[in-house]
Structure 1
Amino acid sequence: MNGTSFQSDIRFWLRQGNTVNHLLIWNIVIFIGINLLYLISPNTAFAWTFDQLTLHSLPGTFIRKPWGLITYMFTHVEIFHVFFNMLNLYWFGNLFRSFLGNKRVLPLYLMGGITGAALYMLSYNLLFPGMPSTMIGASASVMCMLVACATLMPNYEIGLLFFGNVRLKWLALAVIVLGVISIPRGNLGGIIAHMGGALFGFVYISALQSGTDLCKPLIWLFDAETRRENKRVQARTKPKKSPLKVVKKPDDNNQLRLDQLLDKINEKGYNSLSAEEKAWLDKVSKEN
């Protein structure tokens, strides 16, 4: 396969409008880029770039580099880390997309990652106050996708090597249980972030089934068609005022009638007024 053919395949893949493909590309590009920096300049360029992309647990460092809340979930260094995350993102991201649409993929990916990061930072500052720690990887976002799919369609079956067909609810439960069991020996920060992503995936689908879309603000932000549709709905529901219809205040109406009666008196005299007009004029004069 020549370079031109490869570039054409990538462009075609991206033009399909599948947000999962875009997420995969961004994660892979950043993985390749940061590893190239490691080969070229491990102690300077790589170290500086990694420090900018990672999520810092210490509040003081996080405040200086808040973009880490987003960039960490697109950053991987180890090959197996990125491989398994991207494999699961491809499976469960496309499964989620097929049921709930493309426009919810990126918002859910981000919200799952943000929830995992928030739980990670909170736990580390409570358990190990003052101890610096960093985190990278899309695991929280991917776990969010998995649990969201399992909550939405718990009995949906997928084929797993060596295990055969497994229902999503059992797969999600197994992954969560394995994560909890491995806390004493595993990557505590990463596992806590996984649980945060899983929690948001469950809460998101539960709220969505009740009629509340927690990702709605991000959907509006990222999806131009949603913004246009909202404008069309507002235009249809907004009451229209006729430029020909002028609504006068009661005081304006009273003044207009008073002027008309005074003109009538000037032209034809007071006796030309009807009994009702005389009574109304007498009432207005007493009020003033």
Structure 2
Amino acid sequence: MNGTSFQSDIKYWLRQDNSVNRLMFVNIAVFLVLGILNLLIFFRLGPAVVAHDFILRNLQLNVAGNGILYRPWGIITYMFTHEGLFHIFFNMLNLFWFGNIFRDELGNKRVLPLYLLGGIAGGLIYLACYYLLPPSVLPGGPLIGASASVMTFLLASATLMPNLELGMLFLGHVKLKWLAVGVLIIDLIVIPQGNFGGILAHLGGSLLGFSYVRILKGSGTDLCAPFIRLFEWIVNLFNRQPTPRKFKAKKSPLRVVRNNEPSHAARLDQLLDKINEKGYNSLTADEKQWLKKYSDE
């Protein structure tokens, strides 16, 4: 991509059919908008204060004063909203790692649904505890950040592949299950230091990630399936094209079909599409054998 424009690089990044990239793009875009407004506020530009407060108030998850009743969409938008460089940096770094691990195993179509389910679970846990616990324990400040969704991917990946080893700086190779346990322990240890609401959201997302994989493996029920069908319906709604007129094509005397089998290139494309959508484990034993045979040639 050397020599291409910044706009071309962004388009190339988004066209890779990777939902993790697209989620990162949305999070970073919202962060930049709020960051630019904060910069304008620093230079004492009055309208920037109004714009910043309006955007943040409508994106965050508001609970105090029954704020969720007035802005219920906050249960979705809060998970795309960050303030603070370290906040978004570590969330996006972990989303890139664990989101792609999950994507490689269970396919691209499940990434956005699980991100949303994890964020919603974290938000609901936070809401429930706000109404159940005394104000002295959980004052009820607004909730922002993708941490609950990121924890969902971490626990889902650790439940899927507990013995997968990752190379960690200063720690060497660590199994994914121990990394997940370590992060959860750290969350519990730092509760006295504040951000109790954020940690509750982390635990909600973690529980969703663990439960999702256990239910999928145990009963075959895919909690992401309703979201997948909804998104496919929306995409098809906008991609509908008028039905072309039917006509008979002349048969070419040079065309040769052998046992109605697709060419190697066509079948390879089909298998790669299947892996991208549903993960490598969706392949049958014959498909895995065929892929291994022709990738070794």
TM over 0.5: yes
The one-letter code of the counterpart of 1:29 is A
Taking the aligned partners of 1:59 and 1:214, their CA distance within structure 2 comes to: 32
- Rounded to whole Å, the distance in 2 between the matches of 1:213 and 1:2 is 41
Alignment-mate amino acid for residue 61 of structure 2: L
Do the aligned partners of residues 226 and 169 (structure 1) sit closer, same or farther apart at CA in structure 2, a change above 3 Å counting? Answer: farther
Out of 222, 234, 246, the residue aligned to residue 213 of structure 1 is 222
Q: Which has the larger radius of gyration?
A: 1
- CA offset at residue 226 of structure 1? 10
Establish whether residue 100 from structure 1 lines up as the match of residue 106 from structure 2: yes
Contact 2:102 2:153 (8 Å CA) reproduced: yes
Matched, 1:162 2:188: no
Amino acid at match of 2:37: L
Total equivalences in the alignment? 228
Are residue 149 (structure 1) and residue 157 (structure 2) matched? yes
Stretch deviating more after TM superposition (2-11 or 54-63) = 2-11
SS at match of 2:82: coil
Going from structure 1 to structure 2, the CA distance change for 1:45 and 1:52 (only over 3 Å counts) comes to same
- Tell me by how many angstroms 1:160 deviates: 0.4
Q: Which has the higher contact order (CA 8 A, sep 6+)?
A: 2
Q: 2:40 aligns to what?
A: 40
The aligned amino acid for 1:25 is F
Residues 1:117 and 2:126 aligned together = no
The runs of 5 or more residues in structure 1 that have no matched partner are 229-288
SS at match of 1:206: helix
Report the CA distance shift for 1:2/1:180 in structure 2 as closer, same or farther (over 3 A): same
Deviations 1:96-140 (A, max 9, x none): 000000000000000000000000111122223594420100000
* Structure 2 gap segments, 5+ residues each: 42-47, 238-297
Could you tell me how far 1:181 is from its partner in structure 2?
1.1
Task: Report whether the alignment pairs 1:223 with 2:232.
Answer: yes
CA distance, structure 2, for counterparts of residue 2 and residue 146 of structure 1: 33
Give me the whole-angstrom Cα distance separating, in 2, the residues matched to 1:225 and 1:159: 39
1:203 aligns with 2:211: yes
Q: Which stretch shifts more, 54-63 or 112-121?
A: 54-63
Contact 1:119 1:196 in 2 (8 A): yes
TM-score (norm 2): 0.73
**Matched residue type, 1:219:** I
Is the Cα contact below 8 Å between 1:111 and 1:200 reproduced in 2?
yes
TM value normalised by structure 1: 0.75
Give secondary structure in 1 for the equivalent of 2:49. Answer: coil
